[in-house]
Structure 1
């Protein structure tokens, strides 16, 4: 197998203001150090922020939505809605349990795409038209709510060994009975020293999980869990 050094690079992961800058070599070639890299469709930054990934998917989703607008001008509302859900929304939600943003700036960027999609589906582009009413008439949850549900569903799957993730499952310590204020399946909160850590999947989702009603966490299937958690 021929080695191609141009295809290899290093991504130092740190939030230090003065990070170390080591040089790595492979087969005598010095590897390029990059600030971001795409892995399995998710752009990972060296500072652990998700700005690049969100900017990338928003751009791709907007281009896809533009394509639908140009080619489905005279289609019915039902066809337009199905097209949005099939081709645009998946771009905005792929692997969202990993990168779910906590900054309002990034949350708004994602919601703006869905708001444009609502105008497209309802065929109402006037500035005086209320997008909020369009979203209500369509019955669409906000993307933020959908990401929260996706995180909770993933935690349900990990807890019940539907998804094999021993590293996360080992950190799900049951909350002592005397500390519980809700259902009996509450977990101990994850201690975090930074806002970035507290917004990560496990700390944020455990907090949301503990606030769910007992009937939701006691669901016997994933579909039942999602249905109950959605209401």
Structure 2
């Protein structure tokens, strides 16, 4: 049996535009007709509705005359999404998986070879904490600290493994979390997320990603009186301040300003 896989349709509307829900139902009906003609069965058990917004309007949609089930949280392309798109459950799950991977590494390998342990960590644990962070970048300090704590746990256990015993933080040979990062040549996960943001931004600017950046910001090769070449809509809410465009452009512009200041001083 064949199935049509990974198909999404969506629409947005205000409470005064509920008539748009009919457009979405028409789209569902059109897909149903196409799938029947193509002899590809739609998997009803994996079809669901997720409404986004503070107080979303709950509308019943139907697939082949059966109501489509409504979910509060869904997994999509490796992300766990909810109505608020806050990714808190996504990060709790990722942290749990990364911690279990670290536990498994130290349980399965008796080696005290730092290079091997780092390779295992980077291969089996850290990817849980770095998948799609351009999209799911954590926005609250509690989550940020919880993510960083995973790597701190790993480096602490490496320190114990190297010493052959548990070291108390009062012992002379104890190394702080920041010192351990230097010892094992690791960056903070927050710094790595910022690096991924900038790399994505560069690819976006160079047209290597199929997204029109003009929908989010404009760029001019010639610097303006503001000292940089970017223009974008300033944020008015906390959520929009943490949106990719704002958090990256603010960082890029600040870095550019510092370089210009350094150049003027020199």
What is the aligned counterpart of 2:245 among 192, 196, 202?
202
Query: Is this contact kept in 1: 2:50–2:73, CA < 8 A?
Result: yes
Instruction: Report the counterpart of residue 219 of structure 1 in structure 2.
Output: none
Q: Distance in 2 between matches of 1:13 and 1:89?
A: 30
Q: Which has the larger radius of gyration?
A: 2
- Give the 3-state SS of the residue equivalent to 1:48 in structure 2: coil
Instruction: Report the counterpart of residue 173 of structure 1 in structure 2.
Output: 218
Q: Distance in 1 between matches of 2:44 and 2:157?
A: 46
Query: Is this contact kept in 2: 1:97–1:151, CA < 8 A?
Result: yes
Q: Distance in 1 between matches of 2:117 and 2:167?
A: 18
What is the aligned counterpart of 2:205 among 145, 159, 164?
159
Instruction: Report the counterpart of residue 105 of structure 1 in structure 2.
Output: 142
Normalised by the length of structure 2, the TM-score is: 0.72
- CA 133–19 in structure 1, closer or farther in 2 if over 3 Å, else same: same
What are the within-5 Å matches in structure 2 for residues 1-231 of structure 1?
Answer: 1-14=40-53, 16=54, 18-123=55-160, 125-128=166-169, 129=174, 130-166=176-212, 168-174=213-219, 177-181=223-227, 184=228, 186-213=229-256
Structure 1 runs, 4 residues or longer, greater than 6 Å off: none
- Give the 3-state SS of the residue equivalent to 2:110 in structure 1: coil
- Give the 3-state SS of the residue equivalent to 2:230 in structure 1: coil
Over residues 171-194 of structure 1, what are the superposed CA-to-partner deviations in whole Å (9 max), with x where a residue is unaligned? Answer: 32137844423xx4x312432232
Shift of 1:215: 11
Shift of 1:106: 0.7
- Give the 3-state SS of the residue equivalent to 2:74 in structure 1: strand
- Which runs of no fewer than 5 residues in structure 2 stay unpaired? 1-39, 260-266
Structure 1 vs Structure 2 CA RMSD? 2.2
Q: Distance in 2 between matches of 1:132 and 1:215?
A: 25
Query: Is this contact kept in 1: 2:160–2:167, CA < 8 A?
Result: no
Over residues 5-40 of structure 1, what are the superposed CA-to-partner deviations in whole Å (9 max), with x where a residue is unaligned? Answer: 2221101011x2x33211111111111111121111
Shift of 1:67: 0.6
- CA 195–215 in structure 1, closer or farther in 2 if over 3 Å, else same: closer
Query: Is this contact kept in 2: 1:189–1:207, CA < 8 A?
Result: no
- Give the 3-state SS of the residue equivalent to 1:144 in structure 2: helix
| Larger RCO of the pair (alpha carbons < 8 Å, separation 6+) | 1
